[in-house]
């Protein structure tokens, strides 16, 4: 299997050239911020928010290239979690959460520990296109793991990534649960949401899982 597939999805049509990017804060409104999640944040944000929207960002592809020694792995056996790779033709689906007022500082404080301190992620501004209103994009904050962080593992064949995921567990649970919950989210987004890298790893796990443990134990992992 090729190690690095081409563009992973065909996103919905681009908004019209005259469409304006919405600012996270309007005059007279309380301070607000949109936070884009594309990994575990899509099912477990664990911070208070005012609104959430499913959608996508352009110019990035999701990859299981970041090592995790806390949430989904250990120092001896780091798990594999996702980051964003700049990709001109890429499209990554996820969830954007709006935080307002006191929620902003509380969310950022929490995510600084969860994503930056424990995860090795940096922050980056992205343009988020809601699924229902792609002609009304939003500026959002995303957490991205770059090759410069010490936990970065980089590319590997999907079969090797699947093997690593099946072997790892951390304080937040088994690495397999992380993979399958992300795959479930993508299915809920509909046929327009594609992720060839994610699908290839899920397929590889499906061929390997019977060799690792009986069905009953496999189901217990998730």
3-state SS track over 17-68: CCCCCECCCCCCCCCEEEEEECCHHHCCCCCCCCEEEEEEEEEEEEEEEEEE
Supply the CATH classification number for the domain 32-211.
3.10.490.10
Distance of CA 12 to the CA centre of its chain: 19
Tokens 């911070």 belong to 47
The answer to whether residues 180 and 91 touch, using CB atoms and an 8 Å cutoff, is no
Give the integer Cα–Cα distance in Å for 130 and 133: 5
Counting other chains too, the contacts that 160-165 makes at CB distance below 8 Å and 24 or more residues apart are: 161/64, 161/80, 161/201, 161/204, 162/201, 162/204, 162/205, 162/208, 163/204, 163/208, 164/79, 164/80, 165/64, 165/79, 165/80, 165/201, 165/205
pLDDT at position 180, please?
A: 95
| Contact by Cβ (8 Å): 152, 145 | yes
- Closest Cα to residue 34, out of 20, 19, 47? 47
pLDDT at 13: 53
Range list of β-strands (E), 38-172: 51-68, 79-100, 122-130, 138-144, 169-170
Helix, strand, coil fractions of the chain, as percent rounded to 5: 30, 30, 40
Q: How far apart are alpha carbons 157 and 201 in whole angstroms?
A: 9
Q: 4, 86, 89, 115: which is the annotated catalytic residue? A: 115
CA-CA distance, 191 to 175, in Å (whole number)? Answer: 25
Is 63 within 8 Å of 111 (Cβ atoms)?
no
In a structure prediction context, what are the per-residue pLDDT tens digits for the chain, which is 222 residues long?
A: 434 444 444 455 544 433 334 444 445 555 799 999 999 999 999 999 999 999 999 999 999 999 999 999 999 999 999 999 999 999 999 999 999 999 999 999 999 999 999 999 999 999 999 999 999 999 999 999 999 999 999 999 999 999 999 999 999 999 999 999 999 999 999 899 999 999 999 999 999 876 554 344 444 444
Residue 216 annotated to the active site: no
pLDDT at 31: 75
Bridge-based pairing of strands 122-130 and 169-170 is: unpaired
């Amino acid at each position: 299997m090729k190690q690095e597939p081409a563009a992973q999805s065909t996103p919905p049509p681009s908004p019209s050239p005259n469409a304006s990017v919405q600012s996270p804060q309007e005059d007279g409104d309380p301070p607000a911020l949109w936070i884009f999640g594309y990994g575990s944040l899509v099912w477990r944000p664990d911070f208070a928010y005012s609104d959430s929207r499913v959608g996508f960002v352009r110019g990035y592809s999701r990859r299981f290239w970041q090592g995790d020694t806390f949430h989904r792995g250990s120092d001896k056996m780091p798990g594999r979690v996702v980051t964003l790779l700049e990709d001109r033709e890429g499209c990554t689906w996820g969830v954007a959460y709006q935080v307002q007022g006191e929620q902003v500082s509380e969310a950022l404080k929490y995510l600084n520990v969860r994503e930056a301190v424990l995860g090795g992620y940096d922050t980056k501004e992205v343009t988020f296109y809601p699924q229902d209103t792609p002609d009304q994009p939003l500026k959002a904050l995303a957490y991205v793991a770059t090759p410069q962080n010490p936990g970065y593992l980089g590319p590997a064949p999907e079969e090797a990534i699947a093997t690593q995921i099946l072997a790892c567990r951390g304080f937040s649970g088994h690495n397999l649960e992380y993979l399958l919950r992300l795959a479930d989210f993508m299915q809920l987004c509909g046929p327009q949401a594609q992720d060839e890298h994610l699908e290839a790893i899920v397929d590889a796990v499906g061929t390997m899982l019977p060799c690792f443990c009986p069905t009953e134990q496999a189901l217990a992992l998730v």
